[in-house]
Amino acid sequence: MRIFVCIKQVPDTETRIKLTSDSQGIDPTGVKWVINPYDEFAIEEAIRFKEANDDVQVTAITVGPKARVNNALLTAMAMGVDDSLLVNTDAALDALTTAQALANAIKAEGEFGLVLAGKLAIDGNVSAVPLMLAELLGIPHASVVNSTEYSDGFVTAGREIEGGTTEKFKLRLPAMITANKGLNKPRFASLPGIMKAKKKPIKEVSLDDLGIKTESIKVKFTNFELPAEKPACKMLGGSPEDQVNELVKLLQEEAKVL
Amino acid sequence: MNALVFIEYKDNKIKKSSLECLSAVKGDSHTIQTCAIGAGSDQLTAALGAWGVTKHYSCTDVDTYNPELYKNFVAKVIEQTKPDVIVATSNNVGRDIFPRVAAQFSMAYMSDITEVEMDSDLEVKRPLYAGKCTAQVTFTDDSGKILLLRPNQISVVEASESVTTENIAIAAGAPSGQSETLSVEKGESEKLDLTEAETIVSGGRGLKEAENFKLLHDLAAPLNATVGASRAVVDLGWVPHSLQVGQTGKTVAPSLYFAIGISGAIQHLAGMSGSKNVVAINKDEKAPIFQKSTYGLVGDLFEIVPVLTEKLKSL
Ligand SMILES: Cc1cc2nc3c(=O)[nH]c(=O)nc-3n(C[C@H](O)[C@H](O)[C@H](O)COP(=O)(O)OP(=O)(O)OC[C@H]3O[C@@H](n4cnc5c(N)ncnc54)[C@H](O)[C@@H]3O)c2cc1C
């Protein structure tokens, strides 16, 4: 069975965001790029499936500029992914165009049994590409999944949503699963894994090869702004009783939230 | 503009987050139509009339949540209403069905919207990098748009019209056999989710032990607040991941956020810096959390929190 894991590179969570001088984007200087944390759960899920079943090929797939995303693919392959498929482009695509590129790239590869992705990417937080991709591939999905169980031709996926509600869905394979924290504990790449990754194939395709036009982009981010500086914090002094009395007064009279 | 609003409701009452969606599209130049799915979804017309909704599409044959059936329902409504813009809440339902709708109808899609202006031109803003910056969302063509609004961001306007809303029943499509809902178990929590809460009481490693979260629950009670946490205590297994606030947890923006025994790491700040008022309680006056707080209390949380709880109870 062929499994595709969709991965994205995002700025490390430590990154302090700076804007470009025209405020039309973020300044990439000094940004450290890492695999989106939720995608690591998806990678781990795929590798575990491979370890538990015969004849499984796990392919990492990503859309982005080669110079930047290559590292993410190498890391995924060092964790245990077999090979990679890179849609190499510098263009800033929107979610739907990205999903179309992924769908066309996956369809061109032939049959597959499972597509995995992180529940969202922590840069844009749009959380749309995987389910758009599922729609374009015509397969069912379960999102924000924290448990899975596979049985011949099906996957049972569990998730927890707002208010502690838990839901369980049974999907016919091929299916799309988007991973939440808690699905598993992603492994670290081992040293031999890192060595092996260097020899694993990365297949490259362009948007042209896939028939995707950047004119089809419908949504762009413009006019970026940094949050307004907060006024200095009011430090409340005295005994715990004094501090609490003053706080409650401020919350009532100044902030007007009580 | 022809707007379609996806309504969520509980006990026959439209949820506040859906009222926020209605408020966002309300304007003289718009026609508003609505849709809702589930038992009782046809009982909302009286309330919708006040919002000037002329037609409400409902489906009562599906009661258990299933993304495929929900999406098929929305798709049927879109075919009948041909909306220019669809507005829904950015939550685990909205995010679970509307990306597929956008792909099926080739519509522009954006989630987590915090500001929207629909009077003349459509103006939309949202945070990026979990709140480290915001950006304007620009639509480059005139295809239909799907806008998912983050709860608690748009103020609810007063609905004062008296239109008669026509209920149009839509039959659920037959399931494709591709997916099936095995179970839905409602959480016992009557509290609002972190993303919807007006007040949040969050605790971190300063609480020392899992049992001490009781202090936070005690404080949350008089405030009617939802309890949150830093990642450190989620990783320690004291509380579930669903409580985590931050870049790899929930992004929240309540009116009042308490950070108790939380140092204020950049990943945590990213998730809560949109809060209108932040109260930090920390024994370390140099803790970075104070830089993002409105009010700071330096001291031992084990002394301060019980006093605060008693004081709030006495109000
Ligand atoms: C990839 C990645 C993603 C991350 N995502 C998140 C995220 O989404 N959310 C998140 O929160 N973190 C996240 N983190 C972790 C983050 O970097 C911090 O480690 C974490 O937020 C620290 O939690 P804390 O403030 O509870 O603990 P600490 O940093 O240990 O702080 C404890 C605080 O409690 C105070 N304290 C101790 N005792 C008392 C007392 N008796 N009274 C009063 N104060 C006391 C201390 O002074 C200290 O400031 C992430 C990290 C990484 C690497």
Q: Which of A122, A165, A220 sits opposite B130 (nearest CB)?
A: A122
**Mean pLDDT across B187-192:** 73
Centre of ligand 1 to C-alpha A127, Å, is 26
**Mean pLDDT across B57-61:** 96
Centre of ligand 1 to C-alpha A126, Å, is 26
Residues in chain B with CB shorter than 8 Å from the CB of A125 are 111-112, 127-128, 130, 251
B147 C-beta neighbours (distance < 10 Å), count:
27
Domain contains B182: no
Closest ligand 1 atom number to CA of residue B302: 41
Domain contains B159: yes
Q: Which of B91, B82, B85, B191 is nearest to B145 (CA)?
A: B85
**pLDDT for residue B192 is more than 70:** yes
Give the residue from B169, B189, B210 where a domain finishes.
B169
Question: How far apart are alpha carbons B216 and B208 in whole angstroms?
Answer: 13
What is residue B27's predicted lDDT score, i.e. its pLDDT? Answer: 81
Q: Which of A89, A54, A50 is nearest to A69 (CA)?
A: A89
Q: Which residues line ligand 1 (CB under 6 A)?
A: A 13, 37; B 204-206, 230-233, 244-249, 261-263, 265, 267-268, 271, 281-284, 287, 300-302
**pLDDT for residue B295 is more than 80:** yes
Residues B288 and B246 in one domain: yes
Residues B149 and B232 in one domain: no
Domain contains B178: no
Q: Among B268, B281, B300, which is best to mutate for testing ligand 1, by the most ligand atoms less than 8 A from CB? A: B268
Report the half-sphere exposure of A121 (CA within 13 A, side-chain side).
Answer: 21
Domain contains B175: no
Residues B13 and B147 in one domain: yes
Is A32 an 8 Å CB contact of chain B?
no
Closest ligand 1 atom number to CA of residue B229: 11
Inter-residue contact A235 to B289 (CB < 8 Å): no
Residue located via tokens 């103020």? B155
Task: Read off the tokens for A220.
Answer: 């762009």
Say which residues have a Cβ less than 8 Å from residue A53's Cβ, sequence separation at least 6.
A1, A150
Residues B54 and B162 in one domain: yes
Q: Pick B148 or B191 by higher pLDDT.
A: B148
Question: How far apart are alpha carbons A73 and A202 in whole angstroms?
Answer: 8
B311·A16 Cβ contact <8 A? no
Is A34 an 8 Å CB contact of chain B?
no
What is residue B191's predicted lDDT score, i.e. its pLDDT? Answer: 76
pTM: 0.94
Q: Which of B82, B83, B74 is nearest to B25 (CA)?
A: B83
Q: Among A13, A122, A123, A188, which is best to mutate for testing ligand 1, by the most ligand atoms less than 8 A from CB? A: A13
Question: How far apart are alpha carbons B107 and B146 in whole angstroms?
Answer: 7
Tell me how far CA of residue A218 lies from CA of A68, A132, A240, B107, in angstroms. Answer: 24, 14, 55, 8
Domain contains B32: yes
Nearest C-alpha in B relative to A19: B133
Specify the number of domains making up chain B.
2
Homologous superfamily assigned to A2-216: HUPs (3.40.50.620)
Domain contains B176: no
First to last CA, chain B: 47
Residues B162 and B214 in one domain: no
**Mean pLDDT across B21-30:** 88
Inter-residue contact B135 to B125 (CB < 8 Å): yes
Inter-residue contact B130 to B246 (CB < 8 Å): yes
Q: Which of B95, B132, B298 sits opposite A17 (nearest CB)?
A: B132
Domain contains B180: no
Say which residues have a Cβ less than 8 Å from residue B79's Cβ, sequence separation at least 6.
none
- Quick one: angle between helices B301-313 and A240-253, nearest 10? 50
**pLDDT for residue B217 is more than 90:** yes
Task: Read off the tokens for B16.
Answer: 């506040």
Residues B163 and B271 in one domain: no
Residues B154 and B273 in one domain: no
Centre of ligand 1 to C-alpha B268, Å, is 7
Tell me the pLDDT tens digit for each residue of B90-120.
Answer: 999 999 999 999 999 999 999 999 999 987 7
Is A29 an 8 Å CB contact of chain B?
no
Tell me how far CA of residue B200 lies from CA of A183, B131, B197, in angstroms. Answer: 26, 17, 7
Inter-residue contact B61 to B172 (CB < 8 Å): yes
If you count residue pairs, one on A and one on B, with CB atoms under 8 Å apart, how many are there?
Answer: 260
**pLDDT for residue B190 is more than 80:** no
A16·B137 Cβ contact <8 A? no
Q: Which of B236, B239, B237, B261 is nearest to B250 (CA)?
A: B239
Task: Read off the tokens for B292.
Answer: 């993002």
**Mean pLDDT across B201-227:** 97
Q: Pick A196 or B190 by higher pLDDT.
A: A196
Q: What is the mean pLDDT of chain B?
A: 94
pLDDT band at B159 (very low <50, low <70, confident <90, very high): confident
Residues B133 and B212 in one domain: no
pLDDT beneath 70: ranges in chain A: none
Task: Read off the tokens for B258.
Answer: 């308490």
Is A226 an 8 Å CB contact of chain B?
yes
CATH assignment at residue B165: 3.40.50.620
Question: How far apart are alpha carbons B209 and B226 in whole angstroms?
Answer: 19
Residue located via tokens 């839509």? B170
Is there a cis peptide before residue A174, judged by omega within 30 degrees of 0?
yes
Domain ranges of chain A: 2-216, 229-258
User: Domain range for residue B50?
Assistant: 2-169
**Mean pLDDT across B258-264:** 98
Tell me the pLDDT tens digit for each residue of A168-203.
Answer: 999 999 999 999 999 999 999 999 999 999 999 999
Most A CBs within 10 Å: which of B91, B97, B133, B219, as the mutation test of the A interface? Answer: B133
DSSP state for residue B264 in the 8-state scheme: -
DSSP state for residue A231 in the 8-state scheme: P
Question: How far apart are alpha carbons A161 and B270 in whole angstroms?
Answer: 21
Residues B208 and B277 in one domain: yes
Classify the complex by whether its ipTM is higher than 0.85, answering yes or no. Answer: yes
CATH assignment at residue B280: 3.40.50.1220
**pLDDT for residue B189 is more than 70:** no
Q: Which of A155, A102, A94 is nearest to A126 (CA)?
A: A94
What is residue B158's predicted lDDT score, i.e. its pLDDT? Answer: 87
Q: Among B208, B212, B231, B273, which is best to mutate for testing ligand 1, by the most ligand atoms less than 8 A from CB? A: B231
